[in-house]
Amino acid sequence: MMSLRRAHNTIPTAFLVAAIFAACFGALDAAAQSPRYTVTDLGEFEPSGVNDVGQVAGRAIISGRLFAVVYDGTLRTINPPEGASAEAHAINNRGQVVGTVFICEIVNDNCVNGRSRAFIYRSGAFTVLGTLGGRDSFGFDIDAAGRAVGNSTTPGPAPDISGDAQAFFSAGRPLENISAKMGVGGSRAAAINSVGQITGLFRDGSRSGAFIYDTRDGTFSLFTLAGSPSDLNDLGPDRRRHGQPRRIGPRVLLRGRGRRGEGPRHALAISHLQQRFGHQQRRPDRWRLEPELEDARR
């Protein structure tokens, strides 16, 4: 009987030891899988783009004036010389920046004849882009080859009145009107990927939504969807379906509302692995930046 009693008492003890080991290893595994990151204080400026080597582009107010800035260990201002103010919107892996500069003439201490121009910054040199015939242009993204996208106004009914805003693509000068090629009334290019595909917002009469325009062959797609496109990743890998190759297209990121009961979400960027990052308004009075890294491959 004693040997039976000992055996009976040994069984729960073994289970208890196994449970303790499982809990410990589970905690270690959870710790290993938890995100690890470092936080770097970049100073008082508003970032808008970052490249793969950690350079950040954005804007900062310094002594009451708006400057386009780049952070690469130190914060540098990169306003074009003729600009009264400027802001940077994106930076590629070569450190080339696209942004918008505001230009005017100073007459009796007043800024007159004001206009906005898209600009590109390359290795200390500036290229101020033109327009599609209107007064203003705005640069929003730049690819690895230094090609920029944005939007520009077109000629209006009078010299001092601009027409519709149209998306543009610039591999130099002059600007290429994407809206005219897609046959839509107005548009805004938000992002370009490494293979020359552009996404943005279009409107045409009662229709509005997102577009993808391919600079390689001039093909395009229009999507009547709610939201405003903010980023575009590269063309996905070949997949096979029923034995036939099927090309998975680029993923477009839209700014829009979150799940039911949540506030609006702003999706900011999408990687080539289809991971999305953004932030969400949890309360009506507060925007909270969160690690909203979401895997779109599911």
Q: Which of 214, 208, 210, 231 is nearest to 296 (CA)?
A: 231
Can you give the pLDDT at residue 279? 41
Which of the residue ranges 114-123, 185-194, 235-244 would you say has the lowest mean pLDDT?
A: 235-244
Beta partners for 201? 188, 210
* Confidence check: pLDDT of 252 > 90: no
* Confidence check: pLDDT of 48 > 70: yes
Task: Report how far residue 258's alpha carbon sits from residue 265's, in angstroms, rounded to the nearest whole number.
Answer: 5
The mean per-residue pLDDT over the stretch 61-80 comes to: 95
- Total domains present in the chain: 1
Any domain includes 26: no
Q: How confident is the model at residue 241 (pLDDT cuts 50, 70, 90)?
A: very low
**Domain holding 264: CATH number?**
2.120.10
| Cis preceding linkage at 174, omega within 30 | yes
Can you give the pLDDT at residue 30? 54
Q: How confident is the model at residue 250 (pLDDT cuts 50, 70, 90)?
A: low
The mean per-residue pLDDT over the stretch 244-249 comes to: 35
Q: What share of the chain has pLDDT > 90, as a percent?
A: 47
pLDDT tens per residue across span 257-271? 444 344 444 444 554
Can you give the pLDDT at residue 296? 37
pLDDT tens per residue across span 14-40? 544 455 555 555 555 555 566 677 777
Any domain includes 87: yes
Ramachandran region, residue 158 (left: φ > 0; alpha: ψ -120 to 50; beta: rest): beta
Q: 130 exposed, middle or buried (CB, 10 Å; 0-12, 13-18, 19+)?
A: middle
Any domain includes 20: no
* Confidence check: pLDDT of 153 > 60: yes
The mean per-residue pLDDT over the stretch 51-69 comes to: 94
Q: How many Cα atoms occupy the beta-carbon half-sphere of 288 within 13 Å?
A: 12
Any domain includes 140: yes
Can you give the pLDDT at residue 150? 97
Any domain includes 39: no
Q: Is 185 helix (H, G, I), strand (E, B) or coil?
A: coil
Can you give the pLDDT at residue 158? 80
Any domain includes 213: yes
Any domain includes 74: yes
* Confidence check: pLDDT of 274 > 70: no
Any domain includes 70: yes
Can you give the pLDDT at residue 152? 97
Residue 175 is part of which domain span? 46-295
Can you give the pLDDT at residue 44? 84
Can you give the pLDDT at residue 8? 46
* Confidence check: pLDDT of 243 > 70: no
Mean pLDDT score of the chain, rounded to an integer?
A: 76
